[in-house]
């Protein structure tokens, strides 16, 4: 096969324009998410964790403790100095802390959007060196228009944003025999999260099987990733708390493993001992599994389904996605699909490089344009993470739509409520308000709890409760989740005020603020009622 012609100047300019448009549009949507209170729990959790790191307390997050095994399973109270490391070993994400110290909450969407945009440009560089310019352009366009990228870039901030960029760098280093690039990018890839070792293992497996010139490097990557995963999940994380076994392994593999308390190694042993159960999990439910695979490969003209390179490059994370249980396992627009992106797209690049004659036929090119358009339309209409709710209804039947004007009015009501809260006090707030309050030590989720453990282990009640029952009003008639949360918030607020533990100091626009009564013993019954009428409680 002849070496592909250099990328044309026009193709380069087109890619730069597309990448710039992608960055600008997704960044503006992320800012709108923050302004319209669409950003939710994980946005606040990571902001608090990274902010704490900037303050000299790496991994610390009281919001993360709310999701920990001891709280979720054991019924413990959240605590201030909990380390998120017990749930996810996201060392690389902590590198964002200087930017958070400089820019505050704005740093997270900036990093999220920029990282995934640069990954697309790197894909273009790899493809343009191996394929004709128009084909390289189409593959890169497929990246920027795919639900597997648009969904995660419009989501709450998360620690998997690094996977496409670092995965592309590892494979590029292997293809170009730049071992220094492989070593640096592979090391950083392992620092993304404990399960990012699955991505590196798959990249190493591909090199071992398909690239004779770097076969031993591929084997080395497989060994390094396997040892790292066992080290982190078997020793480092369990030394922090039991969340990995109590929550994450149970939620993903509880249908295969009776007792995941032994950690990752025991899960692997059990899986090897039950091959038939694993096979059933891989193909079940069949319709959803097939739909997941088709949706992933749709922007790429289904090439990953017939590419050996793609199959090897995605083998580890795809196995986990298919064998896992839960509603999010086969979701195309969630952060977890980013683990599949390097393999899907580079596998397609390598398939086209090996089948140049397939590109000569021009009949399928309009078809490819059609499936790309279909993929984009399905993604937009799906309104990933309600990021597009200003233009796409949250529900068509029955109809549920919140106008941009209403969203901005809710934002103003939230800002007025949050302004009543001093900077260094402890707070319990419900989900839409958490990102506005996350740059503080003592913060828990309402109505889950108004108590927490301080650094000395003493149980304390929060100084302030900030909640927004009116936020849920437009969607409560349609969505059971919003209705349940609104009812629970109102009941909890009435109880706190009626008992005399807290005074209602602000009620406006559907948002309200409670302040703890000084010296009041928590849960001590009194005869005091709500001192003034509040529409948000009706």
- pLDDT higher than 70, residue 528: no
Question: Do 305 and 167 have their domain in common?
Answer: yes
Share of the chain above pLDDT 70, in %: 95
Question: For residue 77, is it within any domain?
Answer: no
DSSP H/E element including 419: none
Rounded CA gap, 59 and 243, in Å? 15
Question: Do 224 and 273 have their domain in common?
Answer: yes
CB distance 124 to 164 below 8 Å: no
Over residues 58-79, the mean pLDDT reads 94
Give the residue from 330, 357, 386 where a domain finishes: 386
pLDDT score recorded for residue 265: 76
Question: Do 412 and 517 have their domain in common?
Answer: yes
Q: What is the largest CA-CA distance in the chain?
A: 87
Question: Do 443 and 301 have their domain in common?
Answer: no
Question: For residue 46, is it within any domain?
Answer: no
Q: How many CB atoms lie within 10 A of CB 479?
A: 15
Question: For residue 483, is it within any domain?
Answer: yes
CA distances (Å), origin 481, targets 221, 339, 485: 44, 29, 6
**Residue 526: band (very low, low, confident or very high) from pLDDT cuts 50, 70, 90:** very low
Over residues 437-453, the mean pLDDT reads 96
Question: Do 260 and 305 have their domain in common?
Answer: yes
Top pLDDT among 489 and 274 is at 489
pLDDT score recorded for residue 77: 96
Alpha helix stretches (DSSP H) within 325-433 = 341-354, 356-360, 364-381, 404-418
Domain that holds residue 473: 404-537
Each residue's pLDDT tens digit, 156-173: 999 999 999 999 999 999
Burial of 301 (0-12, 13-18, 19+ CB in 10 A): buried
pLDDT score recorded for residue 222: 98
Q: How many CB atoms lie within 10 A of CB 279?
A: 11
Question: Do 95 and 127 have their domain in common?
Answer: yes
- pLDDT higher than 70, residue 376: yes
Total number of domains in the chain: 2
**Residue 98: band (very low, low, confident or very high) from pLDDT cuts 50, 70, 90:** very high
Question: For residue 30, is it within any domain?
Answer: yes
Give the residue from 386, 413, 433 where a domain finishes: 386
pLDDT score recorded for residue 334: 92
Question: Do 194 and 283 have their domain in common?
Answer: yes
Over residues 405-434, the mean pLDDT reads 96
Over residues 71-86, the mean pLDDT reads 94
Each residue's pLDDT tens digit, 244-295: 887 878 778 877 777 766 677 778 887 888 888 888 888 888 999 999 999 9
- For residue 364, how far is the Cα from the chain centroid? 35
Q: In b/e form, how buried is each residue of 375-397, taking b as 16+ CB within 10 angstroms? A: bbeebeeebbbbbbbbeeebeee
Question: Do 357 and 497 have their domain in common?
Answer: no
CA angle (113 as vertex; 189, 335 as ends), nearest 5: 60
Question: For residue 45, is it within any domain?
Answer: no
DSSP H/E element including 244: none
pLDDT score recorded for residue 183: 98
Over residues 427-434, the mean pLDDT reads 97
**Residue 524: band (very low, low, confident or very high) from pLDDT cuts 50, 70, 90:** very low
pLDDT score recorded for residue 521: 52
Of 2-11, 33-42, 227-236, 493-502, the one with minimum mean pLDDT is 2-11
Alpha helix stretches (DSSP H) within 394-479 = 404-418, 434-437
pLDDT score recorded for residue 262: 66
CB distance 313 to 346 below 8 Å: yes
**Residue 217: band (very low, low, confident or very high) from pLDDT cuts 50, 70, 90:** very high
Question: Do 14 and 131 have their domain in common?
Answer: yes
**Residue 8: band (very low, low, confident or very high) from pLDDT cuts 50, 70, 90:** low
Each residue's pLDDT tens digit, 293-310: 999 999 999 999 999 999
pLDDT score recorded for residue 446: 97
Question: For residue 263, is it within any domain?
Answer: yes
Question: For residue 108, is it within any domain?
Answer: yes
Question: Do 196 and 338 have their domain in common?
Answer: yes
Each residue's pLDDT tens digit, 325-346: 766 778 899 999 999 999 999 9
Over residues 171-199, the mean pLDDT reads 97
Top pLDDT among 302 and 74 is at 302
Average pLDDT, the chain: 92
Over residues 450-465, the mean pLDDT reads 96
Question: Do 382 and 467 have their domain in common?
Answer: no
Question: For residue 79, is it within any domain?
Answer: no
φ, ψ of residue 508 in degrees (nearest 5): -160, 135
Question: Do 23 and 166 have their domain in common?
Answer: yes
The answer to whether the predicted template modeling score (pTM) of the entire model surpasses 0.85 is yes
Rounded CA gap, 161 and 126, in Å? 19
φ, ψ of residue 162 in degrees (nearest 5): -80, -15
Give the residue from 386, 415, 430 where a domain finishes: 386
């Amino acid at each position: 096969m002849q070496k592909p012609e250099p990328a044309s100047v026009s193709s380069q300019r087109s890619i730069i324009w597309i990448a710039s448009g992608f960055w600008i549009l997704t960044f503006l949507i992320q800012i709108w998410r923050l302004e319209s209170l669409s950003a939710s729990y994980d946005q606040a959790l990571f902001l608090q964790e990274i902010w704490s790191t900037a303050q000299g307390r790496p991994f610390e997050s009281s919001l993360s403790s709310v999701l920990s095994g001891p709280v979720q399973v054991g019924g413990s109270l959240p605590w201030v100095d909990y380390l998120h490391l017990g749930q996810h070993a996201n060392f690389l994400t902590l590198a964002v802390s200087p930017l958070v110290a400089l820019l505050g909450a704005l740093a997270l969407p900036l990093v999220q959007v920029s990282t995934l945009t640069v990954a697309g440009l790197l894909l273009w560089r790899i493809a343009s060196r191996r394929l004709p310019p128009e084909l390289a352009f189409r593959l890169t366009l497929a990246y920027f228009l795919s639900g597997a990228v648009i969904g995660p870039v419009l989501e709450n901030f998360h620690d998997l944003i690094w996977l496409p960029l670092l995965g592309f760098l590892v494979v590029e280093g292997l293809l170009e025999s730049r071992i220094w690039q492989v070593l640096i990018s592979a090391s950083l890839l392992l620092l993304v999260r404990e399960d990012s070792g699955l991505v590196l293992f798959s990249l190493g497996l591909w090199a071992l099987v398909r690239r004779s010139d770097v076969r031993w490097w591929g084997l080395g990557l497989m060994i390094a990733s396997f040892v790292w995963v066992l080290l982190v999940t078997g020793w480092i994380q369990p030394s922090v708390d039991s969340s990995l076994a109590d929550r994450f392994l149970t939620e993903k593999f509880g249908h295969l493993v009776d007792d995941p308390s032994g950690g990752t190694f025991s899960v692997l042993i059990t899986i090897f001992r039950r091959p038939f159960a694993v096979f059933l999990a891989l193909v079940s439910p069949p319709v959803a599994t097939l739909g997941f695979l088709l949706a992933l490969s749709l922007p790429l003209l289904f090439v990953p389904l017939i590419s050996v390179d793609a199959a090897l490059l995605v083998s580890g994370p795809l196995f986990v996605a298919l064998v896992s249980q839960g509603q999010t396992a086969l979701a195309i627009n969630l952060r977890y699909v980013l683990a599949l992106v390097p393999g899907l797209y580079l596998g397609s690049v390598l398939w086209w490089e090996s089948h140049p004659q397939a590109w000569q036929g021009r009949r399928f090119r309009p078809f490819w344009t059609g499936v790309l358009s279909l993929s984009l339309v399905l993604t937009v209409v799906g309104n990933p993470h309600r990021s597009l709710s200003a233009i796409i209804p949250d529900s068509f039947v029955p109809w549920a739509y919140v106008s941009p004007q209403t969203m901005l009015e809710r934002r103003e009501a939230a800002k007025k409520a949050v302004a009543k809260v001093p900077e260094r006090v402890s707070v319990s707030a419900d989900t839409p308000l958490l990102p506005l309050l996350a740059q503080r030590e003592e913060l828990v989720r309402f109505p889950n709890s108004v108590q927490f453990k301080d650094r000395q282990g003493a149980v304390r009640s929060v100084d302030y409760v900030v909640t927004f029952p009116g936020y849920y009003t437009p969607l409560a008639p349609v969505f059971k989740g919003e209705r349940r949360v609104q009812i629970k918030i109102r009941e909890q607020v009435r109880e706190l005020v009626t008992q005399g533990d807290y005074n209602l100091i602000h009620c406006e626009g559907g948002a309200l603020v409670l302040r703890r009564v000084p010296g009041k013993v928590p849960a001590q019954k009194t005869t005091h009622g709500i001192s003034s009428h509040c529409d948000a409680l009706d």
